[in-house]
Structure 1
């Protein structure tokens, strides 16, 4: 494997700074995490977007959240077909092995994946329709959400609505996993849908009774 290169200098400097300060000041805590293993109370499915920083939003430390990130914070439906399913594997491990008490889907504003889905479904991104597009085939998961919001009048309203649909679709798909449904029905696991506004720092939660998002 000849393509791998050493880390750039700025990342090495940042690591060395972390090791000399944060790690050094909390050495016992890190040793405990290493020897006792992880016991996170919650799993968070969030977007890959670099602007979405889950641990910062909730002021969390290492060991508190089991985090899985993918394009547009999507959870696919339960499909035990023998193929590779990274998101489904993470959900399975969190629920059945780690026994998390909460499973949170966190969407966000200005999501590029959601915009791509909107463009694709409205016929404005033919390259995403290609079978060779990993992004396009992943965003197919959100097509049911698009069908629910396409009647919106303004383009910006459609984007915002589809960002929140990405959370709702994922929550719906989570309940197709037998082990998730069993844990929810047994009151050992609760599902939560959140959406954050990057620019305003706002956070909204999904209220299933009204099928709407409300400020936290």
Structure 2
């Protein structure tokens, strides 16, 4: 591969800063993590969006979360003979090998992937309708959520509602995985749906008893 280049200087400087401070002061802990393997308590499925910083939101240390990120924090339905195996493989590993106690789907405000789905499903993003669009075919997972939106609501309200539907669709799809359902029904693992707003510093969780998202 002759197109790869060395890291930008600012990233190299940041690495050396981390190694001289955080790593140097806690190297026994880092070495234990490396030698003992990972034993995360929870898996978090979040969006690729650079503004969603899972470890910062929860003040997590290394080794605490098994994190998988994709466009719009979606989980496809269980399709062993189909496609979209990247997310499915991560879920399988977290549940069957790492034995996580919690599986969290974290949605967020101002999600570009969700807006793309909204635009595509409303006929305003023809490029995403093309079979060659990776984003469009991935966002097809969220079409059932779009169909639940109130057509009379304002667009901002519809987008927020669809961001939360992305969490619910993913939770429903997770329960189509036999090993997820088995772990949940055996009370060995719990599912959680969250939605966060970076700008407002807000976090909401889905409460089945209230049929909606409420502040934590």
TM range (shorter): over 0.9
Q: Residues 70-125 of structure 1: CA distance to partner in whole angstroms, max 9, x if unpaired?
A: 00000000000164510000000000000000000000000000000000000000
Tell me the equivalent position of 2:19. 19
Write out aligned runs for 1:24-35 (5 A): 24-35=24-35
Is 1:4–2:35 an aligned residue pair?
Answer: no
- Give the count of matched residue pairs: 216
Tell me by how many angstroms 1:38 deviates.
0.4
Tell me by how many angstroms 1:156 deviates.
0.4
Is 1:116–2:119 an aligned residue pair?
Answer: no
Distance 2:152 2:212 in 1: 15
> Does the aligned pair in 1 maintain the 2:145–2:162 contact within 8 Å?
yes
Tell me the equivalent position of 1:59. 59
Tell me the equivalent position of 1:147. 147
Tell me the equivalent position of 2:175. 175
Distance 1:84 1:153 in 2: 32
> Does the aligned pair in 2 maintain the 1:43–1:65 contact within 8 Å?
yes
Is 1:72–2:72 an aligned residue pair?
Answer: yes
Tell me the equivalent position of 1:44. 44
Tell me the equivalent position of 1:215. 215
Tell me the equivalent position of 1:184. 184
Tell me the equivalent position of 2:126. 126
Tell me the equivalent position of 1:156. 156
> Does the aligned pair in 2 maintain the 1:152–1:158 contact within 8 Å?
no
Distance 1:45 1:214 in 2: 19
Instruction: Say which SS state the counterpart of residue 148 (structure 1) adopts.
Output: coil
**Measured at CA, do residues 158 and 82 of structure 1 come closer, stay the same or move farther in structure 2, by a change above 3 Å?**
closer
Structure 1 gap ranges (5+): none
**RMSD of aligned residue pairs (Cα, Å):** 0.9
> Does the aligned pair in 1 maintain the 2:76–2:84 contact within 8 Å?
no
Structure 2 gap ranges (5+): none
Tell me the equivalent position of 1:201. 201
Instruction: Say which SS state the counterpart of residue 162 (structure 2) adopts.
Output: helix
Tell me by how many angstroms 1:150 deviates.
4.3
Flag as ranges the 4+ runs of structure 1 deviating above 3 A: none
